[in-house]
Structure formats: structure tokens, C-alpha cells
Amino acid sequence: MRRVWLQQTTIGLSLYDVTGQGYLTEHDLGSYIAELVPSLAALDGLDSSFTPFYVCTAARKFLFFLDPLRARRVRIRDVLSCSFLDDLLELREEDLPMDLQEQNWFSAASALRVYGQYLNLDRDQNGMLSINDLAGYGSGTLTRAFLQRVIQQCMTYDGEMDYKSYLDLVLALENRREPAALAYLFRVLDINSQGYLDAFTLNYFFKAIQEQMVAHGAEPVNFDDVKDEIFDMIRPEHPSRITLQDLIRSGHGHTAVSILLELHGFWAYENREALAAAGDHA
């Protein structure tokens, strides 16, 4: 059964491969998903005016995770071998439980959540997000130093972010354990484009965390202590340089980057034992 599905899906995707080279661009993926939408029972009732935003939201996940070289295209065989198509086609079920829909990036509930957040952040309603708008994301503790780098790294319009770039940021922040997300965040943190993070880079971002601590009336934590903890956690091959591969290989990359980009992430790390104990007693 799986083999038949694979053959049918391969043929279906290949119809959108306009160059015949085994790749799909974001536009190609969008066309495929748009054609698929009417057959997905869980998307019944999706407002037609929202469909373009849904298609954009769905297609962006494929590009984010399957296009590591940022060539703006993905291989059809990679699309077939990942779990994303399964998640998308799961929406064919008419009575898919709401909890499963909320966990599925491709569900209407998830797409509406992400797009709704974007609209809520867009305070001047110009359809774009400024650094000040982005400061309200999530817990509201992403540092300005981090957000400035995000804006520098993504395609912007007069220094403001569009919906596609916002989707990349959301996918990175919501999937910090994944190599593609760590690669995105590493590019943001690598302020000198040198291919590694050193003490200078860590200090640059942690200063912003210290400033947030002071703003919240807390005593700022000593940077050297945090730096030593991060290096002990990651155990890089070079004693004073942390590469992307070091972050991925360590299994703690998500923790290290969270410490540097938002006060909430640092607080969660500092209070990890208390939080774990509270979870055990919940």
C-alpha cells in the first residue's frame, strides 16, 4: 500500500516539476498544495480569502527544512522521504481530533494561529513587522540584539519583515532542536560571519540578556560563568570556538541558543532543576 502511495505521490509531485530536474520551487510546491486543499476534509470551511496564506504557510515548512543551501528549491525525493507529506495528507481524515490538528503545522488551526499572531504583532497594520513589532513575539523577551540580527539576515523591505520571513523565524524558534532551526539561529548569532561563535559573540548577545535582567529588577548574572557553562555544555572541538556542527552534535544546541536570544530561555535554563521538580509533582 505504501509503495502504491509513493508511486502515485511521486507522479503527482513530478507534474509540478516544470524543469524536469527533480526539484520543486516554492511556487511549484504552492501550486501542488493549492490543488490538494479541496481534497483535505480537515480544511473544509477554510475561508477562500485565507487560502493563499495557508498555502504560503504550508509550503514554507518544506523550504525551511529541506533547503539547507537556501537554493529556493527542494528535491522531490526529499519531499517524499520526510514526514511532512504524511502530516499534510493526514488532513484527509474528516474527524481528525483537535489535539492532533493543533500539533500539525499544516492544519487550519495551526495556520490560523501563526497568521493571527502575525496580524496581532503588526501594530501599525502595514502588513510588515518592524523590530518593535517583533519584540512582542512569544514571551516578549527576545532581545533587541537578536531581533536586529534577524532583520539583517532575512530579506526585508525598508527594514521590516514580510510574512514569509516571519514564518522562517517561527519555524526556527518552535523547532530549536532541529538541525535546520539551529542552522538558522546560528547564522543570526554569527555576527561576523566567521563560521563559529566565540567569547566575543556570546558576550555581545548576553549583554542584552543582562540588560533585560536589570530592567526586570534582577541582579545580572556574570557573563564568564554563563560562557563557561555554554562551552562545557557544547564541548566544541576547538576549545574557544563553537561551530554549527558542535551545536548539533552536542544535543544541547537548543539550550545554548535559547540562553543567548531571550530572557525567558535563560530563565528556563537557570531554573531548570526547580522546573523539573515542579513537573514531577504536577
Q: What is the pLDDT of residues 91-129, one digit of tens each?
A: 998 888 888 888 999 999 999 999 999 999 999 999 999
What CATH number is given for 2-106 in this structure?
1.10.238.220
Going by pLDDT thresholds of 50, 70 and 90, the confidence category of residue 69 is: confident
What is this structure's pTM? Answer: 0.93
Based on the number of CB atoms within 10 Å of its own CB, is 118 exposed (0-12), middle (13-18) or buried (19 or more)?
A: buried
Res 2 pLDDT > 60: no
Give mean pLDDT, residues 166-178: 97
The Cα–Cα gap between 145 and 159 comes to 15
Q: And the C-alpha cell for 39?
A: 481534497
Beta bridge partners of residue 73, listed in sequence order: 25
| pLDDT number for residue 11 | 85
Res 280 pLDDT > 70: no
The CATH number of domain 122-281 is 1.10.238.10? yes
As a three-state string, the secondary structure of 113-145 is: HHHHHHHHHCCCCCCCECHHHHCCCCCCCECHH
Phi-psi region of 251 (alpha: psi -120 to 50; beta: other; left: phi over 0): left
Boundaries of every domain in the chain: 2-106, 122-281
| pLDDT number for residue 101 | 86
CB atoms within 10 A of CB 115: 18
| pLDDT number for residue 100 | 85
